[in-house]
Amino acid sequence: MSTTKLAKVRKLALGGAAAAAIALPLTMVAAPAQAATLAGCTVTPLAPVVIGQVGGQPNVRFTTRVTCSPDRIVQIRDQRREADAPAGIGGDDNYGQTNYLRTFASQATILVSTTDIVTSTENSNEEVYHRTSFRVATINGVSNWTSFQNSAVVSVNN
């Protein structure tokens, strides 16, 4: 390899390493949603999103991303909550639960969602999140339920 080509390769390698060194800390800043994988399916509760108002109250969409291999049926329990102290679900207010049942004939990723009116439960913003648990049916039977995975908590002005 000539000196000129070698210099170009080194420059590209150093540039790539520098870009990776900058990008890595940026990707670590945003905490990823918790996801669970079981029997060829991955379920991820996404951060709640305010989509408008109904009667002066925030209307919030709670979305879950589901990816499954072919020939799977996934059943999801999605619980919507408002976080309160002490930490954990014991002190949290419950907005409701939605159950989803989806069949995957082929590999796919889908979104399932529901909306809820976030009512005022305190004198400050509401901290909303949702949590999911699921099980998978295949030709070999039905799995046990996964542990619950939480979305990010979002502060909603109420």
Q: When comparing pLDDT for 114 and 120, which is higher?
A: 114
Q: What mean pLDDT is predicted for residues 15-24?
A: 36
Q: Which two three-digit tokens encode residue 34?
A: 């918790």
Q: Which two three-digit tokens encode residue 96?
A: 């409701």
Least Cα distance to 118 among 64, 50, 70, 63 occurs for 50
pLDDT at 50 over 50: yes
Does the global pTM surpass 0.85?
Answer: no
First-to-last alpha carbon distance for the chain, in angstroms, is 66
pLDDT band at 121 (very low <50, low <70, confident <90, very high): confident
Place of tokens 């305190």: 122
